[in-house]
Amino acid sequence: MNFLLKVWRQANPKIEGKMVDYEAANISPNTSLLEMLDVVNEQLVERGEEPIAFDSDCREGICGVCSLTINGEAHGSDHPSAVCELYMRRFKNGDTIYVEPFRAKAFPIIKDLVVDRSALDRVVQAGGFISARTGSAPEANSILVPKKDADLAMEAAACIGCGACVAACPNASAMLFTGAKVSHLALLPQGAPEHRRRVLSMVRAMDAEGFGNCTNIYECVAVCPADISGSVMAKMYREYAVATLLEEVAD
């Protein structure tokens, strides 16, 4: 298969970037998009040109590092999956493919397709820790968790923190990400002692990082590679409303 790639190139954050054309020839349909970029980079290096900078790690849709926008969609069109799981058989021979970094104020470009997504890490860090004791594993039946709550908590915990929800949202909102992190622990008894402090800290950290507000467009849900439900946002809203009210009463 042969493709025309239009790739965003930007040497550093201080200069303007632009789309640059590259040809990808004789690509197997079973090649992933990242593997195709590897092939293109090998050809660039052989010609003495600067290779395309992009992030990747597990290449199994687990780590969330491979954050790219393909033809205007976060992670491409093969939802729910990360861009490292996007195979060239999803395209037609001769297609033109646009490859860009995630676009959001909170995700400044470092180089080419690499963006700084550490804002998400700082939101998580604002949540702090839980008071559960460490050491040997506790007896499984010592803290009983209803199956419904356990299932919902596990679904929320599946968030890989890739930032696709932010890139897809017209407002660059991180509500789905933050909602998943808040809901995961709020649904479990181990996270109960600090759940009100946690939601206040995480939402305020999210706002401080420059993420936008949610307007219920649900593009975030459509592109999420972990298929996180929008219900985690509703859970976060309820947690935040109660925590804010109790904080005002305490003052």
Over residues 113-170, the pLDDT tens digits come to 999 999 999 999 999 888 777 777 777 777 888 999 999 999 999 999 999 999 999 9
Domain boundaries, the chain: 3-111, 118-250
In one-letter notation, the amino acid at residue 61 is G
Q: What is the CATH number of domain 118-250?
A: 1.10.1060.10
> 204-217: per-residue pLDDT in tens?
999 999 999 999 99
- Return the H-helix or E-strand segment holding 163: none
Structural contact between residues 127 and 141, judged by C-beta atoms closer than 8 angstroms? no
Predicted pLDDT at 144 = 84
pTM of the model: 0.91
Positive or negative torsion for Cα 57, 61, 65, 67: positive
- Least reliable range by pLDDT among 107-116, 186-195, 237-246: 186-195
The per-residue pLDDT for 33 is: 97
How far apart CA 161 and CA 178 sit, in angstroms, is 9
pLDDT in tens, 61-113: 999 999 999 999 999 999 999 999 999 999 999 999 999 999 999 999 999 99
| Predicted pLDDT of residue 139 | 75
Query: CATH code for 3-111?
Result: 3.10.20.30
Task: Please state, in angstroms and rounded to a whole number, the distance separating the CA atoms of residues 126 and 59.
Answer: 28
pLDDT at 178: 97
pLDDT at 136: 77
